[in-house]
Structure formats: structure tokens, C-alpha cells
Amino acid sequence: MGSIIIRRLDDDLKTKLRLLAAKHGRSMEQEAREILKAGLTQRATRRLNLAEAIRKHIEPLGGIELVLPPREPLHTPPKFHK
């Protein structure tokens, strides 16, 4: 197993790590290992494109039925020759 030393760790961050470790009944070192393991082993979630993100929020609200007018035949194109 390897070891690392983290220098110049912000005091506030160190306090948060200490409190989180105490909450979980672990040492700060073990808590840091667990945080690193969780962060590095999670699957990368695929980011939604804009349309998918909008659909995700709107779809649960339900949709509407649009009444589409019947299609008409295409007009005859104009003739430009003499």
C-alpha cells in the first residue's frame, strides 16, 4: 500500500474532516481514505444535453395533445421559362 502526505491543508477543511470522521467513528486518516475511494470509484454519470435535461423536469408534469391540421397537397411550382 502506498502513502501520501497532504501539505498546506486548509484549517477549515481539516476541521470538517475531523468532524466527519468522528461522526462516522473513524480516524481522520480512515475517513480521508473512504472519501478518496468513494470519489475515485464512482461511475462517471453521463451529462444530459439541454433537451434531455428539460424533458427530465417537464415530463412528470404530463404533456398535451396537439391537434395537427391535415396536410394539403403541395402547390405546383412556378414555371420561369418562356
Bigger pLDDT: 15 vs 65: 15
Q: Looking at the whole model, is its pTM more than 0.95?
A: no
Per-residue pLDDT band at 20 (split at 50, 70, 90): very high
Distances (CA, A) of 53 to 5, 56, 57, 64, 78: 40, 5, 7, 19, 44
* C-beta separation of 15 from 5 below 8 A: no
At residue 44, the pLDDT reads 66
54-65 pLDDT, tens digit per residue, is: 888 888 888 788
